[in-house]
Every structure is written in structure tokens, then in C-alpha cells.
């Protein structure tokens, strides 16, 4: 089965101004990312505004992605949800389209114990088996629940749980996860600012929201590391750090949509309550993006 590797954009969902998904934009964006030589895609995650979409919308986006990419790159799909029945429905759906593997964020909003989170992931893995593998996904700054290394180690013994996407800005946690893991359990970095050290220490992939906008820079970073060109890789990490700051670390997804206009795409929007940028924010963003393009592309 396929595994996450290299540069993996966490695909955003483009919406029209009235709030419906823009599938023509989505298809153009998919071609843009594939032409930039990204390694695979992670869909219906945080950057996709997934929890602002109902299940039928999520399914239609996933089906559109799978059909348009037509096997050109592997597609991994997020299925985590606070409601187990909805997660189960998305897993069942994934089994009937060409999905390479699944990811699931920890339960969120309410406080969950380590044992409750372990139980949650074991249930998801059982639902996914035997057709699909599952990646854990830890994002405690958003979910309020931190899946600790000992819990990850326990879950790694489940046959079809094959890795974790860890999105913490914490190198010590990253190193701990890599050091304690067997070779067949993959550690995936979900924080763009740590791509360079993560790859050097042994992370298998970087799942990146910011690479929706500048995939070329992220791909060049990874390819430079693969070639042993640390000087170029470090320069590209500097670029990704700047991009992260300009795009506000993905905390306001309206920045992604407006930045894509700078890259030559038609306007796209985020759903309420995310909303749009102010005129001053747009002006500053365009100025910053121009500097990135001039210096790094």
C-alpha cells in the first residue's frame, strides 16, 4: 500500500462567493500542484475547512479529486470527526474510491483521556481494515487534546496504523516520536516551519497547507535534501518560513485563497465565519508575496 512521503499539500477547498464549492478552480489547482511535482495529496483536513462542510460535500470534493487526478499521484483522505458515525461513513466511502490511505485527527473540543483517544483510533483502524491504512494526526493547539508518545507507541502495534502526522511546533516531540518508532511506523511533520530539520532527522513527509500556494519551493527543498544539497535546502526552508509568516501559519484560511489570486487563479473564498480579508490585509499580502516571488522563485 502507498505511504505518505516527500511534499504533501494539505489541499484547501475553494469556495465561490455564495458558499458552494468551486470545482473548476479545484481541478485547475490540482493540475498546478501535480505539475509542481508534489508527491501526493492530503485532502479534507484542516486546510480544507472540513468541519465547515457536510458529509455529502466532503464526498463530492473527494470524488472530484480522485477522478481528476486519475492516478497521477496518491490521494490520502482525512476522516477524523467528533462523531464516530460520521467518521465511519467517510471510511466506508473511501473504500469505494481510489484512496491510498486515511488520516484522522484526535477527538476535539471536549477533553479526552489518553485511553479514550487510543480506543477511538483502534475503532477507526478496525473500520478501515483490511483495505486501508490509517495515520494518526496530532494537533493539540487546535483540538486541545495531545496524543502523547506512549499512546502513539501503543497504537503503532495496530497492524494498519502506520504513522502519525504530528503538527506540533516542537522538535523535541518530533525527535522522541522518531527515536521510539519502528522502521515501519512513519513520522510525518505537519508544521511547515520545521520541514528542514524534520526531514534531516528522519521524517518521511511534510504535510503542508502553505504548499497550496508555493508548491515549487517546498518541492525544491525536499529534492535538494534528497540530493544532499544542504545549502539550497536551507535557503528553501528560509523561504517556507517567510511564507508561513505571510500566510499567518494557516490560522486564517482566507489568506490562502487571496494568495492564489496572486499566483494567477480566479478569486476563491472561505466559508463563514472565516470570511474575507480587509483591504489593508490584501494590500500587505500582495506586497509580501511579490517579495517572496522575486527572491525565491
**Domain ranges across the chain:** 6-296
- Residue 59: active-site member: no
Check: CB of residue 210 under 8 Å from CB of residue 190: no
pTM above 0.85, yes or no: yes
CATH topology of domain 6-296: TIM Barrel (3.20.20)
Give the C-alpha separation, 152 to 1, whole Å.
21
B/e letters for 104-117, b = 16+ CB within 10 Å, e = fewer, are bbbbbeeebeeeeb
Of 184, 204, 186, nearest to 195 by C-alpha is 204
Place of cell 487571496: 258
* Grid coordinates belonging to 139: 494537533
- Residue 137: active-site member: yes
How many angstroms from the chain centroid is the CA of residue 137? 10
Give the C-alpha separation, 179 to 173, whole Å.
10
* Grid coordinates belonging to 105: 485527527
Consult the annotation and say whether 79 binds a ligand: no
* Grid coordinates belonging to 187: 513520522
Looking at 165, 204, 220, 257, which residue is catalytic? 165
Check: CB of residue 167 under 8 Å from CB of residue 191: yes
Looking at 42, 121, 137, 222, which residue is catalytic? 137
What is the full per-residue pLDDT of the chain (297 aa) written as tens digits? Answer: 899 999 999 999 999 999 999 999 999 999 999 999 999 999 999 999 999 999 999 999 999 999 999 999 999 999 999 999 999 999 999 999 999 999 999 999 999 999 999 999 999 999 999 999 999 999 999 999 999 999 999 999 999 999 999 999 999 999 999 999 999 999 999 999 999 999 999 999 999 999 999 999 999 999 999 999 999 999 999 999 999 999 999 999 999 999 999 999 999 999 999 999 999 999 999 999 999 999 998
Amino acid at each position: 500500500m502507498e505511504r505518505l512521503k516527500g511534499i504533501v499539500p494539505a489541499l484547501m477547498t475553494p469556495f465561490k462567493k455564495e458558499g458552494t464549492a468551486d470545482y473548476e478552480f479545484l481541478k485547475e489547482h490540482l493540475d498546478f500542484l501535480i505539475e509542481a511535482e508534489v508527491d501526493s495529496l492530503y485532502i479534507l483536513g484542516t486546510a480544507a475547512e472540513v468541519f465547515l462542510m457536510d458529509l455529502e460535500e466532503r464526498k463530492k470534493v473527494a470524488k472530484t479529486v480522485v477522478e481528476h487526478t486519475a492516478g497521477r499521484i496518491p490521494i490520502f483522505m482525512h476522516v477524523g470527526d467528533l462523531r464516530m458515525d460520521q467518521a465511519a461513513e467517510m471510511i466506508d466511502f473511501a473504500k469505494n474510491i481510489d484512496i491510498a490511505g486515511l488520516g484522522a485527527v484526535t477527538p476535539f473540543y471536549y477533553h479526552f483521556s489518553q485511553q479514550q483517544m487510543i480506543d477511538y483510533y483502534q475503532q477507526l483502524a478496525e473500520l478501515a481494515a483490511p483495505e486501508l491504512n490509517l495515520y494518526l494526526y496530532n494537533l493539540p493547539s487546535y483540538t486541545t487534546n495531545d496524543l502523547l508518545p506512549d499512546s502513539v507507541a501503543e497504537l503503532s502495534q495496530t497492524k494498519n496504523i502506520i504513522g502519525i502526522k504530528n503538527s506540533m511546533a516542537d522538535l523535541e516531540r518530533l525527535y522522541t516520536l522518531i527515536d521510539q518508532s519502528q522502521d515501519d511506523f512513519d513520522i510525518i511533520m505537519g508544521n511547515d516551519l520545521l520541514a528542514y530539520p524534520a526531514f534531516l532527522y528522519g521524517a518521511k513527509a511534510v504535510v503542508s497547507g502553505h504548499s497550496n500556494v508555493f508548491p515549487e519551493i517546498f518541492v525544491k527543498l525536499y529534492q535538494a535534501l534528497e540530493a544532499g544539497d544542504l545549502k539550497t535546502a536551507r535557503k528553501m526552508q528560509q523561504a517556507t518560513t517567510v511564507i508561513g509568516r505571510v500566510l499567518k501559519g494557516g490560522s486564517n484560511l482566507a489568506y490562502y485563497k487571496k494568495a492564489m489570486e496572486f499566483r494567477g487563479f480566479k478569486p476563491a473564498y472561505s466559508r463563514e465565519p472565516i470570511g474575507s480579508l480587509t483591504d489593508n490585509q490584501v494590500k500587505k499580502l500582495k506586497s509580501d508575496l511579490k517579495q517572496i516571488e522575486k527572491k525565491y522563485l
